[in-house]
Amino acid sequence: MPRIKYYSIRMQSVRTGEHVSGAEGIYEKDDVKKIVQQYTTRALTHEKGRADEIRLTVEELKEKVHRISTLPLSTINTRDPESAKRAATRILSSVGITERAIEEAFKALTVGITMRGAILMDIEGVRLEPDLLRGVRVTRMGITKKASADLSRKLTRHSLNNDTVKEALILASKVHKYRMVLGELCISDDPNYTTGYIATRAHGYIRLPRIKKRGISYGGRVFFITGGEVKELIKYLQKEPVLINEIKPCSGRLKIKDILNSRKPRVS
Ligand code: PML
């Protein structure tokens, strides 16, 4: 049987020279036309503003596409930015990330600048990404139709079936497949979206409501990394195609102590 051809489709919508929104996925050839249309519609109707420029990349993937599962998903009912930061600190420090690094990460994401890509930080809080202004973008990830339907079903039970949650979970699942990544902190740069998340392989993808106040239009991602070659990690994040084909459990609200007790923290 001939090997299925996959295409990476990426969209960036821009208004008056500023990034508004983006989307991306990995698709089979027969779906390319439909997805290009969907992404274009999304750029023209986005609630953050209609694009006056749409950058679309459609690229046949020559590399092998790796199939992976999602991280399990849960939510802690954090009440405000302070309690979200406390929860993030307890969980991220349980896998060996220092409080200093977590403090630096919060500082970097709340200083008022949004980078297009993620910050790479070692577990002592030292920045490692080669371009401190742009960061490192994670690209070439997607989800199979079957897994997407399963994820929608699981998220619907918690009223979370939307593109924002799905895309963030897909991205985090790709990132955490790489052993050098110990943890992640994400705060959305959408002024109307106040839920962020942290992720570790040991605890999964943990949503933190009210991590920021409404109206704040900056945020971003920090990946905490340990050991290994940063160059190789960047190559993986930017180039290696990864397709989600299995969905791990999506729970509702959990208590922080249940999250800390239920999965074995991994310190490496
Ligand atoms: C973003 O893309 O703006 C970040 C989204 C964070 C999603 C958090 C969630 O609701 O799970």
**Exposed, middle or buried by CB within 10 Å (0-12, 13-18, 19+), for 3?**
exposed
Neighbouring residues of 242: CB distance < 8 A, sequence distance ≥ 6 = 26, 65, 66, 67, 68, 140, 141, 142, 173, 174, 177
Pocket test for ligand 1, best of 164, 173, 174, 250 (most atoms within 8 A of CB): 164
140 C-alpha to ligand 1 centroid (Å):
18
95 C-alpha to ligand 1 centroid (Å):
22
Pocket test for ligand 1, best of 42, 166, 188 (most atoms within 8 A of CB): 188
**Cβ–Cβ < 8 Å for 25, 36:** no
Is there an atom of ligand 1 within 6 Å of 207 CB? yes
> Model confidence over 15-60: pLDDT tens digits?
998 888 889 999 999 999 999 999 999 999 887 778 899 999 999 9
220 C-alpha to ligand 1 centroid (Å):
10
CA distance 175 to 96: 18
Residue 251: how many other CB atoms lie within 10 Å = 18
CA distance 163 to 145: 14
230-233 long-range contacts (CB < 8 A, ≥24 apart) are: 230/120, 230/128, 230/129, 230/130, 233/120, 233/178, 233/180, 233/181
128 C-alpha to ligand 1 centroid (Å):
24
Helix (H, G, I), strand (E, B) or coil at 242: strand
**Cβ–Cβ < 8 Å for 222, 181:** no
Task: Tokens for 130, please give them.
Answer: 């080669």
Assign 267 a pLDDT band (cuts: 50, 70, 90).
very low
Q: Give me the phi and psi of 82, to 5 degrees please.
A: -70, -45
Assign 263 a pLDDT band (cuts: 50, 70, 90).
low
> Model confidence over 61-106: pLDDT tens digits?
999 999 999 999 999 999 999 999 999 999 999 999 999 999 999 9
Return the axis-axis angle of helices 163-175 and 145-156, rounded to nearest 10°: 120
Domain ranges for the chain, please list them: 6-62, 67-261
Q: What is the pLDDT of residue 115?
A: 84
pTM, rounded to two decimals = 0.94
- DSSP state at residue 188: -
Distances 75 to 7, 126, 258 between C-alpha atoms, Å? 33, 29, 11
* Mean pLDDT (the chain, rounded): 94
Q: What is the pLDDT of residue 268?
A: 35
Helix (H, G, I), strand (E, B) or coil at 52: coil
> Model confidence over 201-255: pLDDT tens digits?
999 999 999 999 999 988 999 999 998 899 999 999 999 999 999 999 999 999 9
